[in-house]
Amino acid sequence: DTGVSQDPRHKITKRGQNVTFRCDPISEHNRLYWYRQTLGQGPEFLTYFQNEAQLEKSRLLSDRFSAERPKGSFSTLEIQRTEQGDSAMYLCASRPPGADTEAFFGQGTRLTVV
Amino acid sequence: GNSVTQMEGPVTLSEEAFLTINCTYTATGYPSLFWYVQYPGEGLQLLLKATKADDKGSNKGFEATYRKETTSFHLEKGSVQVSDSAVYFCALDRDDKIIFGKGTRLHILP
């Protein structure tokens, strides 16, 4: 068990470009979450999946954001036409089946839009 | 909607001091409550949890009690160590969605 893995760890992009991040959860974890964290703030919920189904999407997530988990394993988060306000740490977490189980977080992808 | 409010930081204490970090929540129904910790250079990790009223979660000398009447889940430790320096996040889980507070940075001086 290698933990939740996120790739890349850092991404610098020009405004207007598209970016895609990948998250590999712990195997057998059926739930996968995406959060965004800015400096001095707590993680803000973006979206989550149970297996391959996207069950909830935050109102924070504009139409430029899309997430997928095609086979119920890894997930991708894409941001189209990036803006400077998208600069943040993007965190992925996974949870095993069952109520009140622990969410395991990856190290995050730090996005800087210049 | 569901939300978590925790005390602003940073909190600076001397080693062996008593720690309290306040956390209150707003939620429909009865959420589960958590404290997560982020040590410097590391990812978020669960510190403790409580799933129903009057439950006490505990780990590494930290404790928090789920108080339904005051909608609170304050984190306490009797004697802090320099290694406890980190950012602490209170969180609730309602309908499988985990909502975090803004975090409280804790500095422990030797």
In order along its 114 residues, chain A shows pLDDT tens digits of 579 999 999 999 999 999 999 999 999 999 999 999 998 899 999 999 999 999 989 987 889 999 999 988 999 999 999 999 999 999 999 999 988 889 999 999 999 999
Q: What is the pLDDT of residue B94?
A: 87
pLDDT at residue A107, rounded to an integer: 93
- Tell me, what's the pLDDT at B27? 93
Above 60 in pLDDT, residue B90? yes
In terms of phi and psi (left: phi > 0; alpha: psi -120 to 50; beta: otherwise), the region of A3 is left
pLDDT score, position B88: 98
Q: B89 touching A, CB under 8 A?
A: yes
* Cβ contacts of B45 on chain A, cutoff 8 Å: 104-105
Q: Which amino acid is at A58?
A: S
Tell me if chain A has a CB within 8 Å of the CB of B53: no
Q: Give phi and psi for A88, each to the nearest 5.
A: 180, 175
**Residues B44, A91: C-beta atoms closer than 8 Å:** yes
Instruction: List the single best residue of B25, B96, B99, B104 to mutate versus A (max A Cβ within 10 A).
Output: B96
